[in-house]
Amino acid sequence: MAKDRYAPKTLDDLMANMSSRMSSYVGKSQQLNQHQELLTQCVGATMAQKCRISNYRDSILVIEAESAAVAMRLNYMKMSILSDLRKNGLADLCQIKIQTSPRAAADQQAQKKRSEPIHNSRILSQQTADALLEVAEHAPASLKTKLEKLAALSKKNK
Q: Taking the domains of the chain in order of start, what are their residue ranges?
A: 20-115, 126-156
Neighbours of 132 (CB within 10 A): 20
- Bridge-based pairing of strands 95-100 and 60-65 is parallel
Nearest by Cα to 101 from 42, 60, 51: 51
Taking the C-alpha atoms of residue 154 and residue 68, their distance in angstroms, rounded to an integer, is: 47
d(CA 49, CA 36): 10
Give the C-alpha separation, 53 to 9, whole Å.
38
pLDDT for 105 equals 64
pLDDT along the chain (158 residues), means of 10: 76 75 85 93 92 92 93 95 91 93 73 71 83 90 90 76
List the strands of the sheet with 60-65, edge to edge: 51-57, 60-65, 95-100
The pLDDT value given to residue 111? 72
In this predicted structure, what is the pLDDT of residue 2? Answer: 62
Class of domain 20-115: alpha beta
Q: How many residues does the chain have?
A: 158
Q: Are 109 and 131 in contact (CB under 8 A)?
A: no
Q: Identify which of 45, 54, 44 has the alpha carbon closest to the alpha carbon of residue 101.
A: 54
Q: What local confidence, expressed as pLDDT, does residue 74 receive? A: 95
